[in-house]
Amino acid sequence: MGRVLEVFDVLVSSRRGLVILSLAAAVMLIAGQVVWAQTPAPAQEKKWQTGEYDMYQAITKEAQPGKRLELLDAWKAKVPNSDYADVRKQAYLQAYSQILTAAYSTQNADQLALASKVSGDVLANLDSLFANKPATVSDADWATAKKSVQLLALNIPGYIAWQKDKDLPKAEAEFTRSLQTEPNQGQTALWLATIVLAQRKPEKTSFALYEYARAAMYDGPGALDAATRQKSKTEFENYYKRYHGSDEGMDALENQVKTAALPPNGFEVLSKAKIAQQAAAAQAAKDEEFRKNNPMLALWMSIKTALTGADGASYFDSSMKGAGLPGGAGGVTEFKGKLIEAKPAVRPKELVLSIEDGKTPDVRLKLDVPLAGKMDPGADIGFQGVATAYTVSPFEVTFDVEKAKITGWKGAPAAPAHPAHRPARRSSGD
């Protein structure tokens, strides 16, 4: 007798369109070749018990797998120790397979309820159902059939929660459990990604992206077909780049998912918003460290930021003009800068300093009295003064400063001018 193969291609409606369920391995309806192809051949060691054959005949004539299952249960209850228990078990396997398969293309509540019950029975008795391999079936085909029936049963709870009950969290939990039991399921990974994204919970987006990538990149046993994988890959990459803000880390994730069906603990794809938050936090920490180590320069930079902003003029008029600065703000008692130029060079009444970088002029000090002597550019000068004016471009703040509030000035006296050459006096004897 030839064996019967059945491949399941079930269209599943989702919020994201039609998804094709393609169980890569076909379920071999072994019961079909043994039970329904012909009446079991009489064997010397096998005998029908009273009324048993009539029950068997009724089962062979019943087209509805659900009703056939009821008849099988009645046969088992009446004749638990039948000589044809192996045939009955294979008939169960056929009915189970048909009920589970039909559930993926129906919204009928009764059919789905029956499939839910069958799913539990199959998973609880999977080894028993496949304990006796027919001699006409190879070990590889028998293992393939067992795996296919297992996958059909594993995913029924999640599918029903998703399609019938609209209970997405439960569907997520069930499909996750399915992948924990059998990792090699590209379709289940895609379903799981779809369900998690549909819940619109930002904290679960990384998990959804992982499963999306898994569906797209896994190409081993149980993988989606090549066309669906490519479509999923394109969709995943577009979503990843929109969410993360770039393709950074995407290739690494696509390689990672090839070897694990579920993400490791702590897995996360950072969103654009979180990246920005982390950058802001890092900058804030850096700014705080800068203020701690350079309070004077930090104060000056904050003043510059305010003065060069859109409301710079208002800030100057309300917070700086006519005020003595730095005035102890942030613990800073004086500003310090590098001397760029003294005007005039000797006994100057005006100094140009650079506070920010020691090179670019940004302060002009107007003194009440001249300073003694002269100093070369590059000297460190401290001061306290009253702000009187400022310009944005080039940036410069002008202060009126009392001589007593200048520190660091160590002006050297100017070298005396050489006396004019005078001719030697002639002696009276010349």
What are the extents of the domains in the chain? 5-256, 295-407
66 pLDDT more than 60: yes
Q: Give the CA radius of gyration of the chain.
A: 44
pLDDT tens figures, 151-173? 999 999 999 999 999 999 999 99
Find out whether 215 and 179 touch, Cβ atoms under 8 Å. Answer: no
337-349 pLDDT tens trace: 999 999 999 999 9
pLDDT of residue 45: 81
- DSSP 3-state helix, strand, coil percentages of the chain (rounded to 5)? 50, 15, 35
**Nearest to residue 240, comparing CAs of 217, 204, 260, 213?**
213
Kindly report, residue by residue over 405-417, the tens digit of the pLDDT. 999 999 887 666 5
Angle of CA points 294, 300, 302, to nearest 5°: 100
Give φ, ψ of 397 to 5 degrees: -115, 135
pLDDT of residue 37: 39
Give a three-class secondary structure readout of 140-199: HHHHHHHHHHHHHHHHHHHHHHHHCCCCHHHHHHHHHHHHHHCCCCHHHHHHHHHHHHHC
Cβ distance 377 to 341 under 8 Å? yes
Peptide bond into 263 cis (omega under 30): no
Q: How far apart (Å, rounded) are the C-alpha atoms in residues 154 and 174?
A: 8
pLDDT of residue 413: 77
DSSP H helices, 249-330, are: 250-256, 272-293, 295-307, 312-315
Q: How many helices (H) and strands (E) does the chain have?
A: 15, 12
| Mean pLDDT for the chain overall | 88
Q: In whole angstroms, what is the distance from residue 125 CA to residue 332 CA? A: 80
| Identity of residue 324 | G
pLDDT at 30: 42
pLDDT in tens, 5-53: 222 222 233 333 333 233 323 443 444 443 443 445 555 588 999 999 9
- Calpha distance 98→27 (Å, rounded): 10
CATH domain 295-407 topology: OB fold (Dihydrolipoamide Acetyltransferase, E2P) (2.40.50)
Question: Taking the CB of residue 203, how many other CB atoms lie within 10 A of it?
Answer: 7
